[in-house]
Amino acid sequence: MNNALEVQGLCKSYTDFTLDSVSFTLPAGRVMGFVGQNGAGKTTTIRCILNMAIRESGEVNIFGLDNQQDELAVKQELAAVFDEIFFVDTWRLREVEKAVKGFYSRWNSKLFGEYLSKFGLPPGKRVKELSRGMKMKLMLAVAMSHEAKLLILDEPTSGLDPVARNELLEILREYVADGEKSVFFSTHITSDLEHIADFITLIDHGKIFYTGTKDGLLEHFHSVKGNSAGSAGELPSIDEILVFISKGGQVS
């Protein structure tokens, strides 16, 4: 199976935080939830993947290409959505396209127009006039219009109301439906992942606690913990597992 994203032995130190040999693999066409509490190292890992932070050691490969040496080729293949919008707030939505389309070899203006229409985003509206949910949809529209094969989302649902969160998850489901596109989804709102993620990677204090299939995690935790937190016979939630880990429990 081809891998969309491979992170091996990734290390990065700051004065008060260390990312300690982070390793995981996301197969192509799948969705991985990257879960950890605030400050666990999710954003630092993503910044290293995007080459926004310079790694000290380890490897990051995206579709087999090194994210530093082949940065330009890699960035044609990926898109990222953050918890806050990064477009100039005075731009009208049609100007967003003008500003970014020149950078992408596979930019599809027709597709962008279709996404704006589908997501209910008026092209004449300014970025600053959009609600938080609409801003998220705009970033997704841009991400999907250059036909990115890997979508990286950093806490996209934080601050969204339940309706907007559900809409976002629906968009992601459609995005991966063709089986060729992959999503790496960082969040601390674990309920988002219950239905959409195929794989889960758990991170705490800069260390990976578990990486593998979601079902494997739930079953493994169920047998380790005896499901004392949940109802008898039912698999635990990812939230319960996260709390368990934060209290010093071991999963892997």
Q: Which residues make up the interface to other proteins (CB under 8 A)? A: 47, 50-54, 71-73, 75-76, 78-80, 82, 84-91, 95, 98-100, 102-104
Min separation Cβ 47 and other proteins, Å: 7
Specify which residues 22 forms β-bridges with. 10
User: Whose Cβ is closer to other proteins: residue 8's or residue 51's?
Assistant: 51
Min separation Cβ 28 and other proteins, Å: 20
| Structural contact between residues 195 and 11, judged by C-beta atoms closer than 8 angstroms | no
Tokens 């204090």: give the residue: 205
| Structural contact between residues 56 and 5, judged by C-beta atoms closer than 8 angstroms | no
Residue 243 Cα distances to 47, 141, 236, 246, angstroms: 25, 34, 11, 5
User: Whose Cβ is closer to other proteins: residue 112's or residue 221's?
Assistant: 112
Min separation Cβ 82 and other proteins, Å: 5
User: Whose Cβ is closer to other proteins: residue 19's or residue 79's?
Assistant: 79
Min separation Cβ 51 and other proteins, Å: 8
Task: Report the distance separating Cα 118 and Cα 9, nearest Å.
Answer: 41
User: Whose Cβ is closer to other proteins: residue 74's or residue 197's?
Assistant: 74
Instruction: Measure the CA angle with vertex 95, ends 154 and 166; round to 5°.
Output: 35
